[in-house]
């Protein structure tokens, strides 16, 4: 199993520290050799910086990857956006010696160098490939009798070049990880649709973002689930805080618990709602919490 350094990104420390806690609890239980990536910066956000200044994006992303290379570890992300930015940058640097040379011309000014020797991993891809649903099933202590709506998110899968090795339109690896906890992954209409937040839409066009979120929530509610499970704090925020923002608009009333995958896995491993930070969500479904008292 690959040794990894944990890249937290920006949203988790600032909005959802429970995701960091749950990730560390789960990785420890699964005996994954993981340490914090100290000194990391923003990934940086690909939908903004890469669009305006590709060289700066590559240099900043390259610095984060170089920090992990210096530890002789793959870089582990728990956010789709961070994964997308860092995986894309790593792919471009590895694939083109001229790009690597240009990035290192910037990194050399701060005494760093990227070699292209390690990979960028996403928590779902890493757990599926390195641990496997079978081992997860073997170690859980509290099989979950839950109906779950899985939200993959956009940047986990697209663009497909250099990303996780799975079908882009009909992936199954995340569903398999969810079902390893004992839960049922329930199919629903428009499952692969965006949560509404990505590409700066949440900030620039909040009404349009919430319209997308509202549609996705209505599709999930149409099949009847106990919770939504994602693997990205930005999607998590949109689906969680988005429900609060939508409630009261035109008689809307949503109350679906939203969990990061490591929080779902943590429940199956016997940890409490409070230990996993699920109670810190903006959408607080007390009936769901009572299932795990």
Provide the pLDDT confidence category of residue 199 given band limits of 50, 70 and 90: low
The values of phi and psi at residue 206, to 5°, are -60, -35
Q: Label residue 1 by pLDDT band (50, 70, 90).
A: confident
pLDDT at residue 50 above 80? no
Domains 4-123 and 133-290 in one fold: no
Stronger pLDDT, 168 or 214, i.e. the higher one = 214
Mean of pLDDT values over 149-171: 77
Q: How confident is the model at residue 251 (pLDDT cuts 50, 70, 90)?
A: confident
Q: What pLDDT is attached to residue 163?
A: 61
For residue 248, is pLDDT > 70? Answer: yes
Partners of residue 122 on adjacent β-strands: 77
| Range with lowest mean pLDDT among 175-189, 222-236, 238-252, 273-287 | 238-252
Helix (H, G, I), strand (E, B) or coil at 42: coil
**Burial per residue of 2-33, b for 16 or more beta-carbon CB atoms within 10 angstroms, e otherwise:** eebbbbbbbbbeebbebbbbbbbbbbebbebe
3-state secondary structure 159-220: CCCCCCCCCCCCCCHHHHHHHCCCCEECCCCCCCCCCCCHHHHHHHCHHHHHHHHHHHHHHH
Global pTM reads: 0.95
SS3 142: coil
Q: Give the helix/strand (H/E) hosting 234.
A: helix 233-246
Q: What local confidence, expressed as pLDDT, does residue 59 receive?
A: 97
162 — pLDDT class (breaks 50, 70, 90): low
Interatomic CA distance for residues 150 and 41, integer angstroms = 29
Distances 53 to 8, 107, 195, 262 between C-alpha atoms, Å: 23, 16, 26, 34
* Strands 227-230 and 258-260, sheet pairing: parallel
Q: Are 5 and 265 in contact (CB under 8 A)?
A: no
In tens, the pLDDT along 17-45 reads: 999 999 999 999 999 999 999 999 999 98
The residue ranges of every structural domain in the chain are: 4-123, 133-290
Mean pLDDT calculated for residue range 6-17:
95
DSSP H or E run through 20? helix 17-29
Question: What is the pLDDT, as a whole number, of residue 164?
Answer: 57
Give me the mean pLDDT over the 128-140 stretch.
Answer: 97
CATH number of 133-290: 3.40.50.11810
Q: How far apart are CA 131 and CA 96, in angstroms?
A: 31
Give me the pLDDT at residue 94, please.
96
Q: What is the mean pLDDT of residues 45-55?
A: 78
User: Tens digits of per-residue pLDDT, 83-129?
Assistant: 999 999 999 999 999 999 999 999 999 999 999 999 999 999 999 99
CATH 3.40.718.10 fits 4-123, yes or no: no
How confident is residue 167, by pLDDT bands cut at 50, 70 and 90?
A: low
Residue-wise DSSP of 104-120: HHHHGGGT----S-S-E
Return mean pLDDT, the chain. 93
Per-residue pLDDT at 204 exceeds 80: no
Beta bridge partners of 230: 260
Write down the pLDDT at residue 60: 97
Q: Greater confidence, 38 or 158? A: 38
Using a 10 angstrom Cβ sphere, with 0-12 exposed, 13-18 middle and 19 or more buried, the burial of residue 196 is: buried
pLDDT in tens, 259-293: 999 999 999 999 999 999 999 999 899 999 999 98
């Amino acid at each position: 199993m690959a040794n990894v350094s944990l890249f937290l990104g920006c949203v988790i420390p600032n909005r959802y520290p429970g995701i960091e806690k749950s990730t560390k609890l789960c990785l420890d239980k699964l005996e994954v050799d993981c340490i914090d990536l100290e000194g990391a910066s923003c990934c940086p956000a690909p939908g903004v910086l890469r669009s305006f200044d590709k060289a700066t994006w590559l240099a900043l992303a390259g610095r984060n990857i170089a920090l992990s290379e210096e530890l002789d570890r793959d870089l582990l992300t728990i956010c789709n956006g961070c994964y997308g930015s860092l995986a894309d940058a790593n792919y471009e640097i590895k694939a083109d010696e001229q790009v690597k040379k240009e990035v290192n011309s910037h990194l050399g000014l701060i005494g760093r160098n990227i070699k292209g020797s390690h990979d960028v991993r996403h928590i779902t891809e890493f757990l599926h490939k390195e641990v496997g649903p079978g081992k997860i099933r073997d170690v859980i202590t509290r099989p979950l009798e839950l109906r779950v709506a899985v939200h993959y998110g956009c940047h986990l899968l697209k663009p497909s070049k250099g990303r996780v090795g799975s079908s882009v339109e009909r992936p199954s690896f995340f569903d398999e990880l969810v079902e390893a906890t004992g839960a049922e992954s329930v199919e629903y209409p428009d499952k692969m649709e965006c949560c509404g937040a990505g590409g700066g839409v949440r900030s620039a066009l909040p009404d349009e973002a919430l319209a997308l979120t509202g549609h996705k929530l209505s599709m999930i509610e149409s099949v009847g689930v106990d919770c939504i499970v994602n693997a990205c704090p930005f999607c998590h925020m949109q689906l969680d805080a988005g429900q609060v923002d939508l409630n009261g608009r035109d008689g809307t009333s949503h109350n679906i618990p939203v969990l990061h995958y490591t929080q779902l896995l943590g429940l199956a491993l016997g940890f409490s709602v409070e230990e996993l930070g699920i109670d810190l969500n903006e959408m607080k479904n007390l009936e769901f919490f009572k299932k795990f008292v």
